[in-house]
A and B are shown apart, each in its own frame.
Chain A
Amino acid sequence: MSNPERRVPAFAHPAEEMFARILDFYGVAWEYEPRTFPLEWDEQGNVTEAFTPDFYLPDQDLYVELTTLRPRLASHKNRRLRRMKELYPDINVKLFKRREMRDLMLKYGLLQEAGRIQGTAAQPPSKDHDPETA
């Protein structure tokens, strides 16, 4: 379960905060960026590329990476995920698209400040906004 006394981390993106709120709502325990996985090394053995999934859900043993809708950035993340699976086949990582959360959160009262989330660089306002949520 989530720990109400835990210090809230400084999320890198509002979508990550939304995701954490959803997990808290459902009572799913989570850790924010708890582990970094080296993906590439140079000839001296220094890590040149690494991947830090946004969340780890210990009860599900699942890492979660929130992904942008921008195709170029998404394909970069997909490439890194493929590399992750090659190097760490026993680690479960799931990609989530950021935009899918916002409208329903408004509808269900989990998000009051729509403007704070909408229109960020990575997620333009949804065109299929449900008028019931306004």
Chain B
Amino acid sequence: MLRGSLYNPSGRQCRLFAINAMATITISRQMGSLGREVAGAVGARLGYRVVWRELINQAALRAGQPEVALAAIDELGLLGLSPATAAVESYNRAVRAVMEELAAGGNVILVGRAGQMILRGRPGVLHVRIVAPERVRAARVARQHGVSLDAALAQVQASDRNRRDYLKRFHHCRWDDPDLYDLIVNTARLTVEAAADIICSAVARGMPCVADSDPGDDTIS
């Protein structure tokens, strides 16, 4: 449960009620952008459940296609998996179903898996994108995994390609289209905590309770 006094400086009861409504945050992120770390920090502050890998595994098991989970996880293509189209389609349907169930339950942060598209237009959902310049991300990956900068850059570029292609192939959109997001956070010069502050602030201002498709109220109050 969100603490209204901390994130609601105006103290308006109606807004407080809105904050306490079950909310969902989707986070789209680039490799090395600190997206998962930011998701974790936001989840810890708001008391929201952070769902990442679990969504992939649950959907694959539900679809009866466990190897598709491995293909989804293997974004660098190390395992050379190429599941059948029918298996992937079945998995994608399961991803959508699991994601919608989780969003209906509320108080959840969904990391990746095209949440910004699957839950697009759904009231009470804040769509966030976490980015950083390629060279910054490569340096982070090099440090985190103890690999050379060249190898890290190759990882980042392969990951970008994989995620961009996934969005394009299955959701017919550009992953860097700013219209898909309520908030885009560049972590090049922001700490995880600072990025989490910004997202929590957006949540506290009631953004998740505004229908994405409502043309009459499309700004943060």
Contact = CB atoms under 8 A, between A and B. Distances in A.
B148 A109 contact: yes
A94 B82 CA distance: 12
Contact of A60 (B66, B76, B145, B152): B66
Contacts of A57: 66, 70
A97 B81 CA distance: 10
Interface of A: 22, 25-28, 57, 59-62, 92, 94, 96-97, 100-101, 104-105, 107-110, 132
A101 B79 contact: yes
B70 A28 contact: yes
A108 B73 CA distance: 16
Interface stretch (B1-9, B53-61, B115-123, B186-194): B53-61
Contacts of B154: 107-109, 132
B52 to A, nearest CB: 10
B78 interface: yes
Interface of B: 53, 57, 60-61, 66-67, 69-70, 73-74, 76-81, 145, 147-148, 150-152, 154-155, 158
The secondary structure that dominates the B interface is helix
B155 A109 contact: yes
Given A22-B78, A26-B74, A59-B53, A109 B61 contact: no
Give the secondary structure class of A's interface. Answer: mixed
Nearest to B67: A94
Given A22-B79, A59-B57, A101-B79, 10 more contacts: A25-B145, A60-B60, A62-B67, A96-B80, A108-B78, A108-B154, A108-B158, A109-B148, A109-B155, A110-B151
Contact of B76 (A27, A94, A96, A104): A104
Contact of B53 (A25, A27, A94, A100): A27
